[in-house]
Amino acid sequence: MERTQEPGRSFVRGVATGAGLSLLAAGLLLYLLAALGIIRLDLLQTPQLDQLYRWLMNNLGLSVLPFGVTLLLYLHSLGRLSRSLESDRPCDEVVQLAQLTDVWISLFIGIGVIWTAIGMRSALLHALGDTGAAIQGGAFGVLQRLVDGGILTALSTTILGGAGGYLMRLLKSLRVGGRLNRYQALREADGRRRIEQLLVEIRDAASAAPGRRLR
């Protein structure tokens, strides 16, 4: 009974994962079209969606797109890794998927760092580019120009990149961490058994050879 239920659960998980990835991809496409001005979310008569878009644009800007694409690739690789462990795929395939999942985590964190540097540079250029306006505006004016230049977006991407990266590592550990450790332990044990078997065969061959003794 368990064998018949397990494929069913795997199928349901696969369908749910595919639906979630499709919704995330559709959301990213909608965000891109709205950012480019191709569509207007306020015309869809969904105030919550329009408010969410404005909040994301004010706090994260266009960094939502690389963050979202990286998250999509991470979830896809994590799903493939989980299925590979369940179906006992070859070792090189499992290792490659595990490494690829770690690459997407590092890239997610890296996007936050890079976008922060770009945002800080843009904000400083906007605030201090016009020396006369900066002097006339005083400290408050410079601070306001920093905010207008995107310093809040730069700081928000730092938070998202760091927190998101740690959450992605946590999700990987919770979903495949135990199975991945068992898989690696079984592979190592299998390798040791092969080495021991080879040594036994060498010993037997040396013992069977005339005039030779195994020391």
Predicted confidence (pLDDT) at residue 165 exceeds the cutoff of 90: yes
Residue 90: band (very low, low, confident or very high) from pLDDT cuts 50, 70, 90: confident
Q: What is the torsion angle, in degrees rounded to the nearest 10, for the CA atoms of residue 167, residue 173, residue 174 and residue 177?
A: 170
Positive or negative, the CA dihedral 160, 64, 69, 107 is negative
Residues 6 or more apart whose Cβ sits within 8 Å of residue 171: 78
Residue 45: band (very low, low, confident or very high) from pLDDT cuts 50, 70, 90: low
Predicted confidence (pLDDT) at residue 123 exceeds the cutoff of 80: no
Q: What is the mean pLDDT of residues 188-210?
A: 76
Domain locations along the chain: 18-201
Q: What is the mean pLDDT of residues 179-206?
A: 79
pLDDT score, position 8: 61
What does pLDDT average to over the chain? 80
Q: Which of 31-35, 44-48, 81-85, 116-120 has the lowest mean pLDDT?
A: 44-48
Q: What is the mean pLDDT of residues 52-68?
A: 87
Predicted confidence (pLDDT) at residue 133 exceeds the cutoff of 70: no
pLDDT score, position 143: 73
Q: What is the mean pLDDT of residues 16-22?
A: 77
Positive or negative, the CA dihedral 102, 104, 105, 110 is positive
Residues 6 or more apart whose Cβ sits within 8 Å of residue 86: 10, 179
Predicted confidence (pLDDT) at residue 44 exceeds the cutoff of 90: no
